[in-house]
Amino acid sequence: MAPNVQPPRGMRDFLPDEKARREGVLAAIRDSFASYGYREIETPALEELGRLESGQAGDNEKLIFRVQRRGLDPDVAVLPGSSADLGLRFDLTVPLARFYATHRAELPEVFRAVQVAPVWRAERPQRGRYRQFHQCDIDVIGEPGPVAEVELVVATLDALEALGVTGGRVRLNDRTLLAGLLEACGFAPGMHPGVLVTIDKLDKEGLEGVAKELAARELPAGPCGRLVGVLADLASAAGDFDATLGTLPGRAPERAERILEIRDGVLEAKPDAQVVADATMVRGQGYYTGPIFELYHPDFAGAVGGGGRYDGMIGRFLGSEVPACGFSIGFERVVELVDPSRFSARRRKVALVHTEQVPAGRLVAWQRRLIGVGAEVRLVPRRRNLSRQLEALAAEGFSEWAELDATARPPSTSGAAGLDLRHLH
C-alpha cells in the first residue's frame, strides 16, 4: 500500500456503484423539485470570507476552510487574519442570498431556486458526517407568506417519497416563539444561545438532563425553573400542542399562529404528511428569523434535513429587505436511506470477453455493432477462471456475454449475426 493515497480527511472517493447510486438519488430529487417549479442554479464553491463570516451562522463559521490569498510573498510575514480572503462555503443559503442580490433584476419576483452542490466544514468526521458533503436546497425568495413554508415542506416530503423513502417527519417551530418563551421566563437576550442549545437536547437527554445542564451553565435559577416548568407542560401535553399553547407564558399563542397555519396547510395539501409543531425544536443557524423546520427519519438519529425563514439575510447583501425561506436535504444522510436496488441497471448490458489474439479493431467493431442495436457494451479481457469472471459480470448487471478469440471474424452484414451471444445468470 503506497503511502498517502487517501483522499483528505473527511472527504471521499466514490466507486462506480456508489456514484451511480448517488446520481440516481440526485436525479430523482431534482426531478421532484423541478415539478414544483423550482429552477436549478449554481454558485462558486468559494465566497469572500467577509460574506461567509456574518456572525449569524453560529459555529459553522468557525469551520470554514480558508483559502490563502494568491501572490503572497513567502518571505514576507503576513498576519494570519489577512492571509486568507476567500473561504469554501459551509452551506448553500449564504451563497444563494449573495446570488440573489447580484442577479435580482434578472429573476422573477418570486424566485424558486434548487441547489444541489457540495459544501465544506472542517469538522471531525464520523458516520454520516463529512468534511465535504452535498446539500439539496430549495428556497423561495420574495414570498413573505406561509405559502412558501407549506410548499417547501410538502415538496421536501414528496422528494423523499420519490426516492421510495417513507417515514419522513417534519417538526416545526418558530424563532420568535422560542425567543418569546425565553424572554417570558426571564432570560436576558445574551443568555438565549446557550439556553437554546440546551433545550435542543431535550429528546436526547430528557427533562432532567436539560434541567441539570441549565444549572451547570450557571444561569439564574429563577428563569431556569420557569423554563423547566414550561418544558414539562409541553412534554405532558404530548400530541396536543394546540391545547398547551394557552398555558405558555408571554404571547405564545400569537407567536405560534404561523407554525399552526403552516402545519395545517401542509396537512391540507398532503393529508398523509407527518408534520408536528414542537416548541422545543431549535436549529443551529442564527440567521433564521421566523418559522424553522427540521426533517427526521426513524432510521437516522438526528436530522436529515432542515430549514427555515431568513428574512434578514438578503437585505445584508442588497440593502433592502427581501423575504426568503428554504429547506435543505442532507444528501449524504438521505442516500443511506434509499434502497440500493432502486437504481439497478435497466439497459441491456453486454460483455465481450476476449483473448489477446483478437485484433483491437475487430473488437471495437463488434462493440460498435452491438451499441448500434441499443446495448451498452464493455470489452473485458478473458481471465483464467471464466466462470468466476462471468459471475462477477452478472453481479455488475450484465445480462449477456459473448466470447471472442483468435477465430473471431469481423461483424457481418446485419446486427449481432455471427456472434455467439449468451445470457448471463
* Shortest Å, Cβ 372 to RNA: 25
Q: Smaller CB distance to RNA: residue 63 or 260?
A: 63
201 is a contact residue toward RNA (CB under 7 A): yes
Site map 331..350 versus RNA, x via CB under 7 A: -xx-----------------
Q: Pick the closer one to RNA by CB: 142 or 308.
A: 308
Binding residue (CB under 7 A) for RNA from 67, 147, 162, 197: 197
If one asks whether residue 389 binds RNA (CB under 7 A), the answer comes out as yes
Core vs surface per residue 394-406: b (16+ CB within 10 A) or e: beeebbbbbbbee
Is 187 or 244 the residue whose CB approaches RNA more closely?
A: 187
Return the C-alpha torsion angle 124, 128, 134, 135, nearest 10: -110
Exactly one of 285, 324, 338, 367 binds RNA (CB under 7 A); that residue is 285
Q: How far is the CB of 301 from RNA (least distance, A)?
A: 7
The distance of closest approach from Cβ of residue 215 to RNA in the complex, given in angstroms and rounded to an integer, is 14
**What residues numbered 121-140 form the site for RNA, per CB under 7 A?**
121-131, 133, 135
The region of 99-107, 223-231, 257-265, 324-332 touching RNA under the rule CB under 7 A is 324-332
Pick the closer one to RNA by CB: 58 or 249: 58
Q: Are 285 and 308 in contact (CB under 8 A)?
A: yes
Q: Binding marks (x or -) toward RNA, 224..263, rule CB under 7 A?
A: ----------------------------------------
Output the smallest distance, CB 2 to RNA, in A: 6
Q: Which region among 26-34, 39-47, 101-109, 298-306 touches RNA (by CB under 7 A)? A: 298-306
Which of residues 14 and 103 has its CB atom nearest to RNA in the complex?
14
Residue 278 interacting with RNA (CB under 7 A): no
Residue 386 in contact with RNA, rule: CB under 7 A: yes
The single residue among 60, 115, 280, 289 that binds RNA, judged by CB under 7 A, is 60
Check binding of 118 to RNA (CB under 7 A).
no
Listed as own residue / partner, the contacts of 371-378 with beta carbons closer than 8 Å and 24 or more positions apart are 373/415, 373/416, 374/348, 375/347, 375/348, 375/349, 375/350, 375/400, 376/345, 376/347, 376/348, 376/349, 376/350, 377/349, 377/350, 377/351, 377/352, 378/349, 378/350, 378/351, 378/352
Residue 355 engages RNA in binding (rule: CB under 7 A)? no
What is the residue whose three cell numbers read 409543531? Answer: 277
Q: In Å, what is the CA distance from 397 to each residue of 85, 163, 369?
A: 48, 21, 20
80 binds RNA (CB under 7 A): no
- Cell, residue 387: 466462470
Contact (Cβ atoms closer than 8 angstroms) between residue 24 and residue 343: yes
**365 near RNA, judged by CB under 7 A:** no
**Binding-site member from 248, 390, 416, 419 for RNA (CB under 7 A):** 390
Evaluate whether 226 touches 214 at the Cβ level (below 8 Å): no
By the rule CB under 7 A, 200 interacts with RNA: yes
259: cell is 407554525
**Minimum CB distance to RNA smaller for 82 or for 387:** 387
Grid cell, residue 362, equals 475487430
**Does 10 interact with RNA (rule: CB under 7 A)?**
yes
Q: Which is nearer to RNA, 128 or 249 (CB)?
A: 128
In the Cβ-directed half-sphere of 111, how many Cα atoms lie within 13 Å?
22
List beta partners, residue 297. 300
CA separation for the pair 244, 247 (Å, rounded): 5
Please identify, among the stretches 65-73, 176-184, 301-309, 370-378, the one whose residues bind RNA according to the rule CB under 7 A.
Answer: 301-309
Of these, 28, 29, 89, 91, which contacts RNA (CB under 7 A)?
A: 91
Q: How far is the CB of 295 from RNA (least distance, A)?
A: 6
Q: Does 217 bind RNA (CB under 7 A)?
A: no
The answer to whether residues 179 and 198 touch, using CB atoms and an 8 Å cutoff, is: no
Residues that bind RNA (CB under 7 A): 1-4, 6, 8-11, 58-60, 91, 121-131, 133, 135, 197, 200-201, 204, 283-285, 295, 302-306, 328, 330, 332-333, 383-390, 422
